[in-house]
Chains A and B, each alone.
Chain A
Amino acid sequence: MEATVIRTGTEGKTWGGGNDPLRASYGKMMMWFFIVSDALTFSGFLAAYGFSRFKFIDSWPIADEVFNHFPFLHGLDAPMYYVALMTFILIFSSVTMVLAVDAGHHMKKGKVTLYMFLTIIGGAIFVGSQAWEWKNFIKGEYGAVTTRGGNVLQFVDGEGERVALADFAAELPVTRVANQRNSGIWFSENETLSDFTIEEVKAGFLANDNIFVRTKIIDENGEKTILSREESLSKLNTEAIGVVHGANLVENEYGPPLFADFFFFITGFHGFHVLSGVIINIIIFFNVILGTYERRGSYEMVEKVGLYWHFVDLVWVFVFTFFYLV
């Protein structure tokens, strides 16, 4: 037991870290190999996102309108405040991580323990925040109408403020029943019905003169195009086929389905990295408490997980820019 914690078993072996190419130890070098390859994976995803965005350059959702929630501030337009807060939390947990590494260089076990603990807390808060962000994204706020061409139509009032479907959709005396397994031979079950039918939205739209259709096309001022009343009516009557609330992998109320797909995939992949980072940090945290590195005479292991943790932060800096700012 004692031998396994003091020595790593690789001392003196060339390919086990016996010599240090580029003066980096074996473990650190391998962590850098992993980080470079993982960076290429992430850039592949972000480049694919860029590809799709350039493909729909005139109809991509405007991030400020999609991500504008803040805890306890219901109905208030708070563009990007929350994601900025998340960014701060992650940067700060990076700072406590590097402080832990610094304390490790001076063999101060107490300080390493404290800073590792703060890093884990920061990471956990970040993952939780991302879950909340996903919840809002999936739930949606206003709802939209889908068209035959795979687009969405949103609704605004005379001032250009968004209007929720619930605010104007008519109550029609139709009974809709979600199909169950027993109502068809080949049928399993269909998806949850939306709150309104397309007929109810159309009837409600006809009854309210002060509501207009907003398409996803961005005009030269960088704003979404709002149609006139006549154009809105003809668009709704000829093209609308369904109602969508929130987002899933097939359709969403914000714009092209690819927008939600990439949002789920890239922030999900990043969130998974944060989660595994937190788990690895917890393992190292307990090793620090148990005195493993104290006996080994080096806190290099903290440095290695630190590299991974900073990398996760580094990736977030790019995700933040390309999803929320640009």
Chain B
Amino acid sequence: MAHSTTHHHESNTKRIWFVFALLSVVTIVEVVLGIIKPDFLVDTHFLAMSLLNWIFIILTIYKAYYIAWAFMHLEGETKGMRRSVVWTAIFLISYLMFILLTEGDYIFDVYKSNHVAWDF
């Protein structure tokens, strides 16, 4: 996949339009799901989050993958370059998300079950 960026370039126009179509379709699916909110997706929970939200987040990461690979041309960079960009971000962001969301949920529980009214 990694080809030299300094030598001759074949035209990528076809791939660009393909990715545009793909991103558009995914966005439309997201918006439609967001408007109708199918009951079974909202009510079914997997790992403390509704299936609908899982679908939104997975589709978002799918879109992000195509933007980074095709538009930002990460697919044409060397493997080392690609990994230092992607894994740095993924590890740090996952850690940050884990810590902050867990803490937010904990504070919610404290507000909900403690003996002092916070909504007075």
Contact = CB atoms under 8 A, between A and B. Distances in A.
Interface of A: 22-24, 32, 35-36, 39-40, 43-44, 47-48, 50-58, 64, 79-81, 84, 87-88, 91-92, 94-95, 97-99, 101-102, 105-106, 147-149, 151, 222, 303, 306-307, 310-311, 313-314, 317-318, 320-321, 324-326
A105 B81 contact: no
A276 to B, nearest CB: 18
B104 A314 contact: no
A151 B23 contact: no
Closest 5 CB pairs of A and B: A54-B104, A105-B9, A51-B104, A22-B81, A149-B119
Interface in B81-120: 81, 84-85, 88-89, 92-93, 96-97, 100-101, 103-105, 107-108, 111-112, 118-120
Contacts, number: 147
A94 B73 CA distance: 12
A64 to B, nearest CB: 7
A23 B81 contact: yes
Contact of B88 (A36, A54, A313, A318): A36
A56 B16 contact: no
Given A307-B72, A318-B64, A40 B89 contact: yes
Nearest to B33: A325
B34 A80 contact: yes
Interface of B: 4-6, 9, 11-13, 16-17, 19-20, 23-24, 27-28, 30-31, 34-35, 37, 42, 53, 56-57, 60, 63-64, 67-68, 70-73, 77-78, 80-81, 84-85, 88-89, 92-93, 96-97, 100-101, 103-105, 107-108, 111-112, 118-120
B42 A22 contact: no
B119 to A, nearest CB: 4
Contact of A149 (B17, B30, B56, B118): B118
A43 B4 contact: no
A317 B63 contact: yes
